[in-house]
Amino acid sequence: MSAIHASQLSFFAAHAPFDRMEHKHLLWLLEHLRLSYYAKGEVLAEPAQGKVERCFIIKQGMVQGARQGSVEAAVFELHEGETFPVGALLAKRAVTSVYRAAEDVFCFELSADDFHALLELSLVFKDFCTRRIAALFDQSNQAIQAQFAQAASEQQSLSSPLSEVIRFAPVACAPSTPLQTALGIMHEANVGSMVVVDASSKPLGIFTLHDLLARVVLPGLSIERPISEVMSSDPVSLPPNAPAYEAAMAMARAGFRHVLVTGSDGVLQGILSERDLFSLQRVGLRQISGALRQAENIEVLVSLSKDIRTLIHNMMAQGVAAEQLTLFISTLNDLLAERLIELECAASGLLESPLCQDICWLVMGSGGRYEQTLNTDQDNALLFTVPKGMTADQVREQLLPVALRVNQALARCGFPLCKGNIMASNPKWCLSMDEWKVVFSDWVDQGSLEALMHSSIFFDFRALAGQHRLADELRNWLAKLARSNSRFLHQMAANALRNRPPLGLVRDFVLNESSRLDLKINGLTPFVDAGRIFSLATGVIQTSTIQRLRRSAADSNIPPHEVEAWINAFLFIQMLRLRHHYEAIAQQPGAGVQLLDNLIEPSMLNDLDRRILKEAFRQARKVQVKLALDYQL
């Protein structure tokens, strides 16, 4: 090997994780490798061989793997530059799949002892082997951020824990402090807020300069009063290890300007203002969220919907992660829709009607899962209770015209009307609590293809506006109903397995008729479907795919490392989809979201992203294998 180091170095420089290893560690690796040849059809590794003795790195050719006795979805491919079987080597066990040369294959081989020695030598190699797709995902994200290095330079990330964002010690006082004294302290410290704490430094409230105008000056109160009489009680607080984006979202949702940071003992550790948070990314999230709340008409909301897309583009350019981006998009879309609903209800006189206390506007699909991107249509419905003296039809008659105006206005704001008419303006989806329970019960009892299709959309519902307690009641009722019906869950699992990840046996990917991949249907949907089924089976009431997978893992007997690999795969596909939308809009700025799609050409991806996408699809297959085993499919 030492005689051909130069040529081999160029090979390893093109593949992760070797391209990031220190030169001395790469040389060590080359000194301990040997090159082997396997003819087409020859087995490289199989369970019958016992404990794995070698690590393989494919130099040329393709290797196919399949779990013995498993379903077709377990078949996978390995190509040039890929390393296997890492999991078996780490666990010092036999492989669980049969690895066979699909064509003539040349492999670099490293003994198991040398593999473990390299783990101790190279942190890069160890990180890759222990985290696999997460390590590749990190490398891809770094490459994306490098494209926008100038825009993102010298900026902390919204992923930073709040403890790293806090810059100054909080200014605090006792609840009995006279307001005049508190104002003097705020002036001396040059701050705009005062935290009110008890004797053990646990926060009781917060007072800001905004409160001074609204609660003291305008009502004409004496500044000798204790600050406890004019403070805002029970301020929102987060732990120091919470990421900054959680504080940003809390501000955007509730409309306040400060978040407290408290330790596990409840003691105040710091305070963060909107200026502290959004100086991290130099974006106007707070400004946009404030403008959404104050919008006076639909035309303003239409304009702000464009600002939302511009803001998300900027955040992508600054390297904000996929999970955070979809949360931000969903939160801002929620605020826009809430204000739009409020305006239309006010215009129709519904706000003054007693009915207003018995209505909940529901959002489903990606919106219900907090997984919206720049390409999002409408999936919504109405839930209501029937007041005494009225019938459900009489309530529906009053609500449907308002719902139609809301749906049409949302379309003007860039949320296309649902092609399947799953919208609140459809009488089928404007139902009373009792009617929704009948519909859901019928779907669970029947298990027809139509029922399963509707379940995959409607079972992701959450409250958007109105009386959230109604949605909570329906969600808890549904969780008990679905968990008690194993036949329905079996049918949902069978239906989910109809959509296989697009990995081919002869080539990298199975493409559609336009020679492209649908990242949403073929990439994200297997994870979404599995998360929904696992959550229904275990009684988890959360609606986001990531929360469903994490919270149902223990009861579903899924090891934590497997769940995290699934989540990383899901997030990579989501990021690829977001980047695809970003690039499409950048190329046609005036085209609008209606022309966005989820179709990509794999040949246009770089080698790293192609490799991660293949691994992400393999993880989707593993999710489906778990479903198949659980429900004997």
The pLDDT averaged over each successive group of 10 residues in the chain (633 residues) is 66 87 92 94 93 95 75 64 90 89 94 94 88 66 52 53 80 94 89 92 92 89 92 91 87 83 92 73 67 88 83 72 84 93 92 86 94 86 94 95 95 90 96 97 90 93 95 95 92 92 68 82 94 94 94 90 90 89 71 72 84 88 92 88
Q: Give the rounded distance of the alpha carbon of 603 from its chain centre.
A: 26
- CA distance to 63, 223, 357, per residue, from 400 (Å): 58, 51, 17
Residue listed under structure tokens 């783990």: 119
- CA distance to 136, 150, 606, 615, per residue, from 128 (Å): 7, 28, 19, 13
Closest CA to 165 of 175, 180, 153, 155: 155
- Which H helix or E strand runs over 431? strand 430-432
Q: Which pLDDT score, from 0 to 100, does residue 43 have?
A: 94
Q: What span, in angstroms and rounded, lies between the C-alpha atoms of 365 and 343?
A: 24
Q: What span, in angstroms and rounded, lies between the C-alpha atoms of 463 and 236?
A: 21
Structure tokens at 365: 């699909």
Whether the CB-CB separation of 285 and 250 falls below 8 Å is answered with: no
Q: Which pLDDT score, from 0 to 100, does residue 73 have?
A: 39
Q: Which pLDDT score, from 0 to 100, does residue 359 have?
A: 95
Closest CA to 563 of 626, 496, 497: 626
Structural domains in the chain? Answer: 2-131 (2.60.120.10), 162-278 (3.10.580.10), 285-476 (3.30.460.10), 517-630 (no CATH)
Spatial neighbors of 202 by CB under 8 A, at least 6 apart, are 262, 266, 267, 268
Q: What span, in angstroms and rounded, lies between the C-alpha atoms of 50 and 93?
A: 7
Using alpha carbons only, what angle is made at residue 71 by residues 68 and 73, rounded to the nearest 5 degrees? 110
Half-sphere exposure of residue 199: CA atoms within 13 angstroms, side-chain side:
0
Can you state the angle between helices 607-630 and 133-147, rounded to 10 degrees? 140
Strands of the sheet containing 268-273, edge to edge, are: 237-238, 258-262, 268-273
Q: What span, in angstroms and rounded, lies between the C-alpha atoms of 259 and 242?
A: 12
Whether the CB-CB separation of 79 and 57 falls below 8 Å is answered with: no
Q: Which pLDDT score, from 0 to 100, does residue 524 have?
A: 95
- Which H helix or E strand runs over 363? strand 359-363
Q: Which pLDDT score, from 0 to 100, does residue 381 have?
A: 97
Say what the alpha-carbon torsion angle 336, 338, 341, 345 is, to the nearest 10 degrees: -130
Residue type, 513: E
Helix, coil or strand: residue 79: coil
Residue listed under structure tokens 């980047």: 579
Whether the CB-CB separation of 475 and 541 falls below 8 Å is answered with: yes
